[in-house]
Structure 1
């Protein structure tokens, strides 16, 4: 399915990432299963092998180049969809403890089957982020929360920061049109420090990570219900 191993290894190497043969084999399995499953459940608009390799796998794994993730960190991927960015990150960093959260059960079913095929241990949860963020077993339990273009930053911040424990970090994968300043007000309300951006290029495309370090507990007022978040985002 994917371009051959030597091609993929050289591509990843240009970005400072070492791609082992074992990791490549799992990515190849991932790509094949994603394209196959996509015929019955819409998971991705990208189905060409090179596009999957670069825009899904490489882009996801570049998170490890720009964010320091502690050994054995607990990670939650909010609105994970087809498992990006966190599943490729886990294939590079097998020490991580990963939870995948999505509001659509058909995606969770895909992810459960995918992780079984890949032989990785992952917790998959079917729930809305604003409801899951109030559960004691999930609230402020994670070193890192990630999300990839799920919503605009004022909304996404309220969905994600409640999962992060003080001292942890929330990282949103975004394009250059969104800015760290978009999340300043929300971060302050939710116990976060001043947001900052990390810019990088993926081939010729501009990418931006928006990062918020958690410095204090989130007020029990948050997250609000979905209609409140959308009607009055934290801006």
Structure 2
């Protein structure tokens, strides 16, 4: 084990996450494939190994510091990009039934390659717009936890993500800087989409000491029939 993986495992142990040798090998292969594919397509601006481990892998796993992943059966990651946070969470918590929604076919191809290379099972990769997929019965009001990492402002994210959350489930929006303004402007969307703000967790990413926030939103009722609106409309006209 080198310095980077040793630091990674030590920091996770402090949060109660113990990774096996197999899981560490999966993270390392994920890193190698990410950098390799990144030369052909734009997946991430972060390619230095120590930074990938901290800013992508550890940051993705931070969701489990505030939600008990052992109690979560199904997780949907909306607008996952290069697989964050869904794939790191799946590696660390293999029991999760993971669905990833992304609108770019190239990224879905990369994620399929990662799932095959890492031998991950119970992962569904869905190519399409969140507004369209959320209207499919298999995905509507269906997931214990839905997450999105640095995708859009909260008022817009709520319409993208809350329709996937089951009644009584949780939407976790992973943010960088303090989302206090986003939370304030999202009040109407929460009410419209039958959800309430649970809490906002704040922490600092180790080593580089940058701010991180996780907005936890509780889904209290079934998604009203008119939501989400047709693809493209929420972005042009968020619920404000």
TM-score category (smaller protein): over 0.9
Separation (CA, whole Å) in 2 of partners of 1:119 and 1:194: 36
Aligned to 2:145: 144
CA spacing shift, 1:186–1:70, aligned 2, 3 Å = farther
Separation (CA, whole Å) in 2 of partners of 1:227 and 1:90: 30
2:222 corresponds to which of 217, 229, 234: 217
What pairs with 1:1-235 in structure 2 (closer than 5 Å)? Answer: 3-71=3-71, 73-121=73-121, 122-179=123-180, 180-203=183-206, 204-235=209-240
Say if 1:183 and 1:195, in contact at 8 Å, map to a contact too.
no
Say if 2:4 and 2:50, in contact at 8 Å, map to a contact too.
no
Per-residue deviation, 1:23: 1.2
Separation (CA, whole Å) in 1 of partners of 2:237 and 2:172: 22
Say if 1:71 and 1:95, in contact at 8 Å, map to a contact too.
no
The number of residue pairs the alignment matches comes to 235
Unpaired stretches in structure 1, ≥5 consecutive residues: none
Per-residue deviation, 1:3: 5.0
**What is the RMSD of the two structures over their aligned residues, measured on CA atoms?**
1.7
Per-residue deviation, 1:21: 1.9
Unpaired stretches in structure 2, ≥5 consecutive residues: none
